[in-house]
Amino acid sequence: MDSICSVLSLQKLLNFFSVGTNSPQGEFDVVVYDCNNTEEFLRLTGATERARSYLKYVRELAEKTDIGRLASPSLLKLIYDAARPNGRTGEVRMSAEIWNEIEQLLEKISLWFTDPSKLACFLVMDPRGSISVSSALRYWGCTIQAGAQICGAFGYAEDPSEMHQGVAEKFLPLSFSSLPFLPTDSSADWGRALNSLNQNTKGLLRNTSKVYPSVSFDSAQKSVTLFMPGFDKSEIKLYQYRGGSELLIEAGDQRRVIKLPPAMQGKVGGAKFVDRNLVVTIR
C-alpha cells in the first residue's frame, strides 16, 4: 500500500499517468524522491511490471471462463471509473477497451521507470566499509531486476584521498565519483556541500543517458545475456513460460520477465553464470 501511495504522490508532480498536454514537468528541473529505505524503492519500481504479468493472467481468466465473462464487465467498469485520474464517470466503454487501456497505462509507467532520462538512480556508499560496498553491489543487481537503471555510483568520505581505486573497479562499467561527507549530528551546510562538488560528480549527475545494457540478444548464437551484478549463481532461478516466448528470472526478492524476440523463441538449452552475466542458450 505504501508503494501505491508513493506512485500517486509522484504522479501529482510528474504526471506520468497522463497522455495529455497538462503536464507540470516544466515547473521542476529535478524531483528528488527520498524514500524510507531502498526496499521500498525496489517495491515501487517493480510494482508495475508485476502488475502487468498478473493482469495478463487475470484477463485470460475473465475472458475465457463463464464466471469471468459474467462478472468481469461490471466489476471492471466499476474499478476503471473509480481509478480514473479526473474522477469522471459515465463514459461508455467495452470491456476489451478498458483492458487495453489498463495494459497501456501500466506499460507506460513501466517504460517511465526504465528510462534513465526520466528516473536516474545512483548508488551511494561508504567506500571504507566492506558492508556498505557489498550492499551497494547487491542493490545494483536488485534495481536492475526491479526494472530501473543505475546511472552511476558515489562514495562519501571526509577526505577524498580515502577513495580507493579498488572500490571503483568493483562497480565497472558504472562511473564512480565522490560526494562530500555530511555529518548527521548537526544541521548540514547545503551551500557549502554543493560548492564542494567536483566536476566529475557534477558531470555524472547531469549526464544520465549512458547506462550499461542489462539484457542483450544474440540471434546468431540464439543466446540471451543478462547482466546481474551483486548476485551469486546459487541465488538465481530460471523459468520459462508461454510456450518459450518468455523467460522468468528470480534473484533476491525480485522477479523479472524477459520477452524473447520471435526469431529466438524456443526451449532453453542451457544456462551459465560468467563474470556477473547469466548467459541463456535457446534451442
Q: So what's the pLDDT on residue 22? A: 47
In a domain, 15, yes or no: no
Give how far Cα 235 sits from Cα of 26, 40, 75, 227, 228, Å.
43, 21, 40, 14, 11
In a domain, 148, yes or no: yes
In contact, 236 and 252? CB cutoff 8 Å: no
In a domain, 78, yes or no: yes
Range of the domain at 130: 121-206
pLDDT digit of tens for each residue in the chain (283 aa)? 455 555 555 555 556 555 444 444 556 666 776 666 777 778 777 777 777 777 777 777 777 777 767 666 766 666 566 555 555 554 555 667 777 777 777 777 778 788 888 888 899 998 888 899 999 999 999 999 888 889 999 988 766 666 677 888 899 999 898 888 776 666 667 777 777 788 888 888 887 777 888 899 998 899 999 999 999 989 999 988 767 788 989 987 788 888 888 888 888 989 999 999 999 999 8
pTM listed for this prediction: 0.76
Residue type, 264: M
In a domain, 162, yes or no: yes
Which of 170, 189, 206 terminates a domain? The answer is 206
Q: Is the domain of 129 the same as that of 147?
A: yes
Number of domains in the chain: 3
Q: Is the domain of 84 the same as that of 58?
A: yes
Q: So what's the pLDDT on residue 90? A: 47
In a domain, 27, yes or no: no
